Structure 1
Amino acid sequence: MIYEHLGGRPRIHETAVVAPSAVISGDVTIGENCQVLHGAVITAEGGPITLGEHVIVMENALIRATAANPVHIADHVLVGPMASISGATIAEEVFLATGVRVFNGAVIRERSEVRINGVVHLRTTLPPETVVPIGWVAVGDPVRILSPDRHEEIWDAQHELDFPGYVFGVDRSTPDLMVQLTERYARSLARHVDDRAV
């Protein structure tokens, strides 16, 4: 399903293949010989998304851009099943395995691998040819790659990155943080009411 959103229409190269159950919404450019498989969602929520050549987006993956954080995925990248990319830049020949999470402002450089259920956190930069092991967390710039049992170290780095402030514009110390966050985000998402199938 292809949708116009906020005046932006997807542009899909004639050699690309998009499964009928995938959703492509808004200012999305899909390059030559890309494959977007069943259940994948590629949605430009106010910022553009660009997929280079020979990008594979597997089943039920999510790629989402925001006005503050567009998405650029360079050539020969594989986005695994159920992976999620929000507002990030992915360089050439990157492998993102099943269940990987890449957050806003992240940059993954050439030929890096993020293995099953790995996380590349907010505003984190992976140098070229970096490997994030299965289930591990990459956080910060310069990057620290930590096992999930090192929660306190991960939290220290995450706290400095200020996820609610950076992504949602809400101060973490706000007493009604989730009220403010959900109301603001719901207003933004409500813009889909005017989407149009194309």
Structure 2
Amino acid sequence: MAIIKSVRGFTPVIGKDCFLAENAVIIGDVTMGDECSVWFSTVLRGDVNTITIGNRVNIQDGSVLHTLYQKSTIEIGNDVSIGHNVVIHGAKIRDYALIGMGAVVMDDAEVGEGAIVAAGAVVLSRTKIGPHELWGGAPAKFIKMVEPEKAKEMNEKIARNYLMYSKWYEE
């Protein structure tokens, strides 16, 4: 069973039909929607501020989500995929966005609906990535627009796949 820990009077709230890997760690002021998955060695550390996660979000192996005390929060929309070994620190990620493996998204950055942050990208503090934009590099820069329907379709498919994968662990 995942480590779910209360801190400072906050206890994580987990939605229905969520998969939490045995060594996932969820701490403090974390609210998670339905049908989410938090994979192996992932840490959602809501000890110093709020982390709010929508429905059908998958947070893949080794990722870390954290905030700044009294300054930044994390808001993640619906049908978002967060790749392996991602760091999100006090940022907003809108519906249908994809954060690629090994990316870093810093405080007060915003990733728009259907946007893609490429693997290994570093999104600096206060960067605003618009809807359906692809950004990559370190520091991350705009690369091109992504077709809205393709982005939505891709992230809905990834969300469904991760929901399917999570069911394998029920056996």
Aligned partner letter, 1:124: T
User: Which residue is equivalent to 1:183?
Assistant: none
Greater Rg by CA: 1
User: Which residue is equivalent to 1:58?
Assistant: 60
User: Which residue is equivalent to 2:29?
Assistant: 27
Aligned match for 2:47, one of 39, 45, 48:
45
Please state whether the residue corresponding to 1:27 is helix, strand or coil.
strand
How many Å apart are 1:107 and its aligned residue?
0.7
TM-score of the superposed pair, with normalisation by structure 2: 0.78
RMSD: 1.3
Whether the 8 Å CA contact 2:133–2:142 is kept in 1: the answer is no
Aligned partner letter, 1:38: F
Aligned match for 2:91, one of 88, 91, 94:
88
User: Which residue is equivalent to 1:176?
Assistant: none
User: Which residue is equivalent to 2:162?
Assistant: none
How many Å apart are 1:115 and its aligned residue?
0.8
TM-score of the superposed pair, with normalisation by structure 1: 0.68
Whether the 8 Å CA contact 1:56–1:79 is kept in 2: the answer is yes
The separation in 2 between residues aligned to 1:79 and 1:112, in whole angstroms, is 12
Deviation readout 1:94-140 (Å, 9 max, x if unpaired): 0001000000010111000011101111011001111013x3423xx
Structure 2 gaps, min length 5:
144-171
- 1:73 and 2:76 matched: yes
Deviation readout 1:146-175 (Å, 9 max, x if unpaired): 8xxxxxxxxxxxxxxxxxxxxxxxxxxxxx
Q: How does 1:145-164 map to 2 (within 5 A)?
A: 145=142
Structure 1 moving runs of 4+ over 3 Å: none
Whether the 8 Å CA contact 1:12–1:31 is kept in 2: the answer is yes
User: Which residue is equivalent to 2:14?
Assistant: 12
Structure 1 gaps, min length 5:
139-143, 147-198
Aligned partner letter, 1:60: G
Aligned partner letter, 1:61: S
Aligned match for 1:97, one of 94, 97, 100:
100
Name the structure where helix makes up a greater proportion of residues: 1
Say how many residue pairs are matched.
140
